[in-house]
A = this chain, B = another copy of it.
């Protein structure tokens, strides 16, 4: 698995709020933060994190977008390490154009995936992180 130099939530040069330090960030602050692609198009925002119960490792930052009052919303689990923080945009940046996003693994509310090994490989394969 490859890691970027600047990883998710890395905000160099930006002054830090109380809910953030150099190394750590609050789950409160992550949720709701916008996600853009490299073309500067807004793809959605982080809705929640999926955390490993035993090891406490964040497996996915789940982005959502679309829908009205929750109907028709789609959720896209993104591997933690595909997201970088863009201080200019004020949100996370991911290398994913809109067309490719349409083919990305996603689900609707109430139809959550099993998040098992098969699903992890599917996500990893799509985002080139296996």
Contacts and interface: CB of A to CB of B under 8 A. Distances in A.
A99 interface: no
Number of copies: 2
A45 to B, nearest CB: 14
Contacts of A59: 24, 56
B26 A49 contact: yes
A24 B52 CA distance: 5
A25 B112 CA distance: 12
A58 B53 contact: no
A115 B53 contact: no
Contacts of A23: 52-54, 115-116
B19 A56 contact: no
Most buried by B among A51, A59, A114, A115: A51
Interface in A77-127: 80-81, 109-112, 114-116
Interface of A: 3, 7-10, 18-19, 21, 23-28, 30-31, 48-59, 62, 80-81, 109-112, 114-116
Given A24-B59, A57-B58, 10 more contacts: A9-B51, A9-B53, A21-B114, A21-B115, A23-B53, A23-B116, A25-B53, A26-B62, A56-B80, A56-B81
